[in-house]
Structure formats: C-alpha cells, structure tokens
Structure 1
Amino acid sequence: MGRSEQHILSQNPVTNNCPECFNQDLTLTFYQKHLRGNLFDRITSELSHELKCNTCDTVIYPVSWTDDIERSVEYYQKAVKPEKPVVKFRPLFFVVVILGILLAGTLIYLVLRGAI
C-alpha cells in the first residue's frame, strides 16, 4: 500500500525522576500516524507517545512509571491537539479516475454503436 510515518505533534520536558538513572531530564513525545501512498495521503486518528530519558538515553515504558510520571503524562496528553483525520488525494489518483471514466465511456459508446 504505502508507508507509515509517525509525525511529531509535541515534545514536552518532564521534570520527574528517571526510574533508571534518577535524573530529571525526561522528554515526552507525542506522535500521530500518517499513511503515505501513491494515490493518497491519510492522517489517522491514532496517537502514540514515548517517554525518554535524555541522560541515560533509555525509553521508559509504562510498566516502570511512577505515580508522578503518570500524572505528568496524563496532563500533557490532555493538552495535545491532534490533527484532524483527513484523506488528501494525490494527482495520480485523479489521473487514474479520469482514465477510468474515459475508458468506461468509450466502451459504452462502442456497445451502443454495435461495434463490439
């Protein structure tokens, strides 16, 4: 079909302690999934997030979150404004549709004239 991309919606600093190295240098990133194809580009409503420590460079999964981190993530999650789900057609789509209409019109014309 096409390729899937994660578009960054926002990056927020979180001042809670990292469960791995206990530093306060965390970044919470929110992503929205975009699908890119030959005929169309589609923005989905699918959101995801990642909490990463900038000091020890590890991704902190929800299993090891503390209550403070959970509250911070919930706060920032409410503030994220995702893009509206939209399908944008590319020029190749319109070329294919026009060629299909022309082909169908030609076939109908030939059938009515008795050539086929």
Structure 2
Amino acid sequence: MAKEELKIIKKAELTNNCPECFNQELQLTFYQKHKYHSLYHQTSGEVTHEIKCKTCHSVIYPVSWTQDIERVFDFYRKMVTPDRATIKFTMLFYILILILIVLVAGSFYLYLQKLI
C-alpha cells in the first residue's frame, strides 16, 4: 500500500491580523505531495497551502481572508518552487524486473532445447 506524505516546501511568518483573534501571528505553509511505495517513490506536482494562526491555533480558510492576506499569499505563492513531478523506482523494482527477464529467458531456452 502506498504511503502519502505532505512535505513542507516553504514556511513564512505573516504579519497580517488573524480574522478570528486579531493577533499578528499567522504562519503560511506550502506543501507538496509525495507518495512512497515499495516499488517506487513518486513526487506529485500538486502544491497545497495552509494559513494557521499561532495564537488561537485555528486554520484560516480562503473564505475569511482579507485583501491583505490575499496579496501576501499571492506574493509567497509566486516565490514557491516545487520539485519536479517525477517517479523514482526502488531497488526492489529493478530486482523483480531482472528476475522476470531471467525466468523468461530460461523458459525460452528450455523450450528451444525440447524442439531439437
């Protein structure tokens, strides 16, 4: 079974007011999805974000953003450079492919020996 993990790309401290408690301790975090499987490691191109207040520990959703928060978010979104979307195969994958090739070649050899 594949295990999905959100890795942090960038964290930023914002000085905007929280819409819930009106303190100036917001944290903006950008995440990128990584999927780990026994045969491969996949990095997705999908980037997600979260704004959280450090004082009241509430997540600030885009519905309650002010114009100032939107401007700062757009600024930081342009600065984020995610990793390329790639798939990297593990050593187990290559070993299984090698075993499969050996089995096919061996069975083909045995088949040819019976015909002669």
TM-score by length of 2: 0.95
Aligned-pair distance for 1:102? 0.5
Structure 1: how far apart are the matches of 2:9 and 2:49?
10
Q: Which residue of 2 aligns with 1:16?
A: 16
Which structure 1 residue ranges, 4+ long, deviate > 3 Å from structure 2?
Answer: none
Structure 2: how far apart are the matches of 1:86 and 1:50?
24
Structure 2 gap ranges (5+): none
- Aligned partner of residue 5 in structure 2, secondary structure: strand
Aligned-pair distance for 1:87? 1.3
Aligned-pair distance for 1:85? 1.4
TM-score by length of 1: 0.95
Say if 2:35 is the partner of 1:35: yes
Identity among equivalent positions (%) equals 47
Instruction: Write the mapping of 1:1-116 to structure 2, written as runs, cut at 5 A.
Output: 1-114=1-114
* RMSD between aligned residues: 1.0
Structure 1 gap ranges (5+): none
1:43-96: per-residue Cα shift (whole Å, max 9, x none)?
Answer: 110100000000000100111111111111110000001111121111101110
Length, aligned pairs only: 115
Aligned-pair distance for 1:108? 1.1
